Amino acid sequence: MPHLKTSATETADCIAERRLLILDDDPAVLRTVELMARRIGVVARTCSTLADFEASLASFDPDVLLIDLMMPDLDGIDVVSQVGPNSRATIIVMSGADKRTYEASRDVLASSTAKIAGFLHKPFGTTDLAEVLSGSPAKAQPCSADGRSDAMSEVLSPKNFEEAVRAGRIEPFFQPIFYADGRGLKGFEALARVKGSRASSFAPEYLDQLVADDRLSAELTELVIERALEFMASLRGYDDLSISINIFGIHAIADGFRERLVRRCTNFGIARHRVILELSEATIFDLNEHQLRKVTQLRLAGFGLSIDDFGMGNSSLGRLAHLPFSELKIDKAFCLAMPHSETASAVIEACLGLAARLDMKVTAEGVETGEVAALLAKMGCDALQGHHFGQAMSADKVLCWLSEVSPKVAA
């Protein structure tokens, strides 16, 4: 669906009667921002000290807080972290720091429990203020203590998660992956989900539990592989599509794993080159000699090997050059940050250059917009994955999606 540009009238309606509380140590900035706010119909109050700011939180009852990060006698990050969880107001952060410091500050705050609605890099104008205000809710929706919504907070206890795995109540959802050059659908990634859960992703708590439990992670890996291959076999007429499957810990690739995988592919009629096994960057960094042998044998057997979440770990470039992987998957954090981060774009360019030298393909995850997709394609990515192309779907919904959307499949 094309993005619909918000009209000036709609923007004005969105921010009318907002109550904006501004904290900055510079009187000139306070006067300027207050004037901007009045021009767009926002009621504003300014504060130059923390004491005034805290008093105004109660007396003024703001909808939105605009807080400067660079103040000589105050640490803006601390102010946001302290005020945010205890206030119903949403927060907009402003800063005149250099771009890399500004981006680092934004990343720190984005991972905090404070309700951050937007960021403004000084100097900014009335239009910039109006746009960020129009995107912030009048009052933030309540979240759990860890900052997730109620649906995302539906996490099984370790005992119940283990029971779900052992009872086969984990199912793969499938997210489409497209060629960046426009040739069409490349394949799918199988993403584990708990049956019946409202959550739209696999909780980090589950991944932590799998890292700590070798047997459980091996069982889950085998379960997801079996169901992912069964799904691929059900796609009649799509014999060129690939399936990417996460390996939950290197210990899942134990003795007999390769033989079982070969046998499954034979039974389901899936060519081995269509199966891409994904291991996280953190996992491959610690491969010992025996594990490296197992991974290499998988590659020699014809399976693709992908380094997942690349760019977020501690890979040694020398080590990477000696691993038999065929693909890098750029972590979604970089793609999500691309529209407002030159640093993220620089990291992606570096990953692409490295992959080209090592004769590896590159898939970018977290592609949310057509603009980012076009930029990544221009930069030289081979494949793209993200909500711009489609969310993860159950097997039956994929079949409906294929018939309704009829995505072009590369020959």
Whether the predicted pLDDT of 142 surpasses 80: no
Between 121 and 397, the more confident residue is: 397
Q: How high does pLDDT run on average in the chain?
A: 85
For the cut 90, the answer to whether the pLDDT of residue 349 exceeds it is yes
First to last CA, the chain: 26
Dist. CA 403–CA 374, nearest whole Å:
26
Q: pLDDT band at residue 314, thresholds of 50, 70 and 90? A: low
Say if residue 207 is exposed, middle or buried (CB neighbours under 10 Å; 0-12, 13-18, 19+). middle
* Beta-strand relationship, 170-179 and 185-194: antiparallel
339: confidence class by pLDDT, cuts 50, 70, 90:
confident
Over residues 50-70, the mean pLDDT reads 91
Q: What is the mean pLDDT of residues 79-108?
A: 81
Is pLDDT larger for residue 223 or for residue 321? 223
Q: Dump pLDDT digits (tens) for 20-31.
A: 999 999 999 999
**Which pLDDT score, from 0 to 100, does residue 98 have?**
73
User: Which of the pair, 318 or 76, is modelled with greater confidence?
Assistant: 76
**In the 3-class helix/strand/coil scheme, how is the chain assigned residue by residue?**
CCCCCCCHHHHHHHHCCCEEEEECCCHHHHHHHHHHHHHCCCEEEEECCHHHHHHHHHHCCCCEEEEECEECCEEHHHHHHHHHHHCCCEEEEEECCCHHHHHHHHHHHHCCCCCEEEEEECCCCHHHHHHHHHCCCCCCCCCCCCCCCCCCCCCCCHHHHHHHHHCCCEEEEEEEEEECCCCCEEEEEEEEEECCCCCCCCCHHHHHHHHHCHHHHHHHHHHHHHHHHHHHHHCCCCCCCEEEEECCCHHHCCCCHHHHHHHHHHHHCCCHHHEEEEEEHHHHHCCCHHHHHHHHHHHHCCCEEEEEEECCCCCCHHHHCCCCCCEEEECHHHHHHHHHCHHHHHHHHHHHHHHHHCCCEEEECCCCCHHHHHHHHHHCCCEEECCCCCCCECHHHHHHHHHHHCCCECC
Over 80: is that where the pLDDT of 153 sits?
A: no
Percent pLDDT > 70 in the chain is 86
Q: How confident is the model at residue 411 (pLDDT cuts 50, 70, 90)?
A: very low
Mean pLDDT of 394-408: 84
The pLDDT assigned to 2 comes to 36
Q: How confident is the model at residue 353 (pLDDT cuts 50, 70, 90)?
A: very high
Give the model confidence (pLDDT) of 114-138 as tens digits. Answer: 778 888 888 888 888 988 888 754 4
Higher pLDDT, 73 or 315: 73
What single letter denotes the amino acid at residue 21? L
What are the phi and psi torsion angles at 70 (to 5°)?
-105, 95
pLDDT of amino acid 197: 73
pLDDT tens digits, 157-170:
999 999 999 999 99
Whole-model pTM over 0.75: no
pLDDT attached to residue 14: 56
Tokens of 258: 């390769």
